[in-house]
Structure 1
Amino acid sequence: MGIYPDCPVINRKIEVGGLSNLQLIHKLKQHSVLMNELGERLLSDDRFPTSNTKYSVNTVELTVGDLAFPDGAALPQIFERASELGLEACPLELGPHLRIQYLDQPEGNTKNLSQQHQAPLGSITIASTIISEDDNFPKGFYLRKINGKLWLRGYTADYLHVWNPDDHFIFRAFP
């Protein structure tokens, strides 16, 4: 397994912006996207930033292991390594826009749904700007497909939580 950029990645160009929080929620419902309580809390928070202007974000999907962490790493380490490699956190509003545009996500592994305190198998965490340091407030979103249903889910994690080397993240990339 190579280290980014010498490893397999998935590149996407995502159109972001132009919708308010309420419009994003409506659009997610139109696409039958389900949300957990943390995702709803994050998206409906007054601090959730949205842009009135549409813009494009180039993203790269890779694993924690692709960032040279064969034993996993905590968020500060992951973000620091990504930055050293020319990647950065995505705008927080990318999460709902990506979910709306990425409708053909493969089914996640549903055999072990009770993986507490770990990213679920088949999920993709969006590395994004954090709007609250409170450990109980959602840090961002992850995408998942379970039993044919698309999800945009919020997550909480403190800075000590170690992400597994196989956990998938999406970062902003610059061409």
Structure 2
Amino acid sequence: MIENEKIYPACQTIDRTVVVGGLTKSQLFQKMQQHSIMMNELGKKLFADDRFTTTDKTYSLKTVELTVRDLGLPEGATTSQLFTRAMQLDLALCPLELGPYLRLEYRDQPEGYLEKPARKYQAPYGSITIASGTLTDDVEFPKGFYLRRINDVLWLRGYVADDKYVWGPDDHFVFIK
């Protein structure tokens, strides 16, 4: 670890309070459509799965957005390493349903990829991954959601990653404080 790097909680973070719950999956999907939020095929597959559930009662979550580097992992980390380190820093994984609610609330996300090269098999520039548990160990099934703005269109996207995938030090994640 580089001595001068500041790690959580001494680093710069983006804190949000997000109200979650109170809608059925159908109502939540309709609300995303009303706000012109797009989903990729993996996001649709994850959202449609019976194991992805929503709660009927509303509750508030205090979230923190930070980078893999901010967790003290300047070389990057696998998902398991990343989540273990976050828990050591008293951060918790998000419920999967946070993804759609955060997407609905965070509509002024900046474009992240402008004038940057496309990255294949890596988290896209400007994306924010919701740190959540997975529904299955199946490597072909989406592991979670990430938020992105592409050409001024808001997206809730699903992603796949196996247990060997290494997240880059500048990849952004959202955890529960």
Give the shorter-chain TM-score range.
Answer: over 0.9
Q: Please show how residues 1-175 of structure 1 align to structure 2 within 5 Å.
A: 1-112=5-116, 114-173=118-177
Deviations 1:78-110 (A, max 9, x none): 000000000011000000000000010011114
| One-letter amino acid of the structure 2 residue matched with residue 93 of structure 1 | E
1:125–1:170 contact (8 Å) kept in structure 2: yes
Instruction: Using the TM superposition, give the Cα deviation of residue 37 of structure 1 relative to its aligned residue in structure 2, in angstroms.
Output: 0.2
C-alpha distance in 2 between matches for 1:108 and 1:114: 11
1:113–1:120 contact (8 Å) kept in structure 2: no
C-alpha distance in 2 between matches for 1:46 and 1:89: 20
| One-letter amino acid of the structure 2 residue matched with residue 95 of structure 1 | G
C-alpha distance in 2 between matches for 1:21 and 1:107: 28
**Runs of 4+ that moved beyond 2 A:** 110-114
For structure 2, list consecutive stretches of 5 or more residues without a partner in the other structure: none
Structure 1 residues 94 and 113, CA gap change in structure 2 (3 angstroms): farther
Deviations 1:9-35 (A, max 9, x none): 000000000111111111100000011
Deviations 1:48-75 (A, max 9, x none): 0211100001100000001111110000
Output the aligned Cα RMSD.
1.0
Identity of aligned residues (%): 57
| One-letter amino acid of the structure 2 residue matched with residue 52 of structure 1 | D
TM-score normalised per structure 2: 0.95
